Chains A and B, each alone.
Chain A
Amino acid sequence: MPDEEIRVGLMGAGGNVRNRHIPGFQGVNDLSIVAVANRSMESGRVIADQFNIPQVYGDWRELLDDESINAVCIGTWPYMHLTMTRAALEKGKHVLTEARMASTAEEAREMLKLSRRHPDLVTMLTPTSTAYRVDRVIRGMLDEGYLGELLSVEVHALQTGFADRMGDLHWRHDWEMSGYNTLNIGAQYETMSSWLGRANRVMAMGKTHVPYRRNGSGEIVSVGIPDHLDVMYELATGAQVHMRFSATTGLSTGNQIWMYGTEGTIHIGPGAAIFAGRRGDSQLTEVLNPEDQQAGYRVEEEFTNAIRGLEQVKHNSFEIGVHYMEWTEAVARSVQTGQSVNLPL
């Protein structure tokens, strides 16, 4: 539909939709955000008023019945992504779905299957925003063989506050809403696999250090999703990766990545500063990463360009989502069973 106006409906309007997608869509030519359906009519109206959206639906199914809409942005928690994606594709609408892709690997595979049944429609997942700033530099170094043969990788995604016993229940703590998604493991794997390729085999251990939390009604509920997770995996190349994710590591060193090769080492430190060194160097030195050369956020632009046939969806296709959801589920299965889990599932 190269010439047609893109008319977007928003299904779910949480933080990322308000902060990212709506401003992003508003920057695209010949595009209108025409309707919103949120958890309640009331919360939908607040969004509509704030962003001048003409129509509020009390139910996302009514929004999909609106024939003037040709693309939807699904911004709910993962538990609704499959159901909404299926319904939207059946109604002939292009789909941009918020990350994480789904609750389980099976749901993700089903979404991929549905997208292939509708090759005329664009399907896309919101990519992680954690690596934009360093992506071009790292990719460039990897492509020029800076590391030699990659041997091992170490990733820390650590919060630096102490355990918040009896804290509030967030939807990310709730299996019903989030499925196997835990902390930010899918986002980290998405980034690492885009640089280094996919995992063959996964072993993991997890803990829920804060096993009880208070929900919105003030009730104490038990938490099933780990708040501390260690994952080891083997890359298809043979390199070995360890990742630690934690919400309970007080005064730790925060987010860091190390990639060790036979000839070079790359380290991404806190604040996305990049350091590197080669055989013969005595220490790592900082790698320049000028802001004007860093990749930027362009999710809505890519989505709408794809609808207009101007580019292919790369970040992220549903295939990429299936990969990270399979890895995410492999982590959960290994935590449950104590056994290594081979990929693909």
Chain B
Amino acid sequence: MKTWLKSALAAAMLLGAAGSMPALADDITLTMWGQGDCPPDNCLGAALVDAFQKANPGIKINLVQQPVDGYFTNLLAQSVISRGPDIASMWAGGYMDQFKQYMVDLHKYVPDSILDSVNGIDFFSEGYNHKNAVYAAPNTAQWYIGYYNKKVFKDAGLDKVPTDWDELSADAKILKDKGYIPIVQGAVDGGASFAAWEDWSYLATALPPSDWSKMLSGDMPYNNPTMVAQLTKWNQLFKDGYFNADAYNSPTALQDFIAGKAGMYLGGGSWQAGQLVKAMGEDVGIIVPPYSDTPTRAAVSFAGGGYAVMSYSKNVDAAGKFAAFVLSDEGQAVIAKYDAPTRAGFPNNNPLLNDMASLSGKPDTVNYPMFDNFTQAPVTDALSRNVPQALVGQMSPADVLSSMDAAYASLPADQKKPISFGK
């Protein structure tokens, strides 16, 4: 073969190979979707992105915060047409199930030795076993939890937090008489109304975990006497004026709590701990929403959000590097500055998060998962739209619960299967 022909063939092969290689060139830009508000000075997602970019100068990540309300529907809409982000914030359970066909197995990017050491990784894995496909890199351990303002409690002469309905009602009256909003609630995540997932989970702790499985699997109606009674008591607090009047959709609920206008904020989660400690210092403490006839022993916790690499990304390998970074020592050290990391050996200095971990670790604590992580999409939709209405008296508890039963009944047969909480 002539020399020039050989050279031309070699050049053509090189060009062809370059064209088919995974793109890891110098100027890769990825898009990552986060959820909810992310204050510039207290944003874990942004901190992870910054650290990752420093470690990988050739890769840029545009972090786009999406409203929590409708996040998964928007992500699904974009995924169906392959226009979603390269990296997406992901929640485990039912939220994640609908995206399995769009997510990449992270085994290719994360060593097994690290996967074995990650708490909560099974929740993000096929069949709740990380030896199977792993769909997302969990970034934090999370709790649904309430917060109270110690300074406000002290001013009202309250020296301990309420632990059941009667105590909650009595303390709320004292706070109200003192001029405070006893319990503040609102659309803190940028949605049109508040998301009742946290409240619902604690309201449902009136039932044992085994009954949760029955409700989720359709073996026990949502419209049962226990849940009707729970929602009725919850609504009674609103009727008595113990919630802010615009609890359904107040855009300033969290600011009001931070500003010391309210005694308790019961619809929160561990992801707010950093922001609250920063704003309130030692004045803020955790409180288990005391939606219980007897002193509550419940704690609702789950694997926190994770980062999924979307299969339609044009830069899957670069996105995979980010997922690997989150679980690496460097990534865990970044997480520890903001939240509870998922691997041992990276201590966190947020006292609220340590309190949550202690709560879950108590021998008499009954640990529940986050209920909405297991509900089917139509049931989740009915829950998020109608449960807030039960609080403000726009719908009766029985009607709210019936709407959830109707949503379950509308499921196709293949979705009516027993729900497992995994390990």
A and B bound? no
State the B residues within 8 Å of A (CB): none
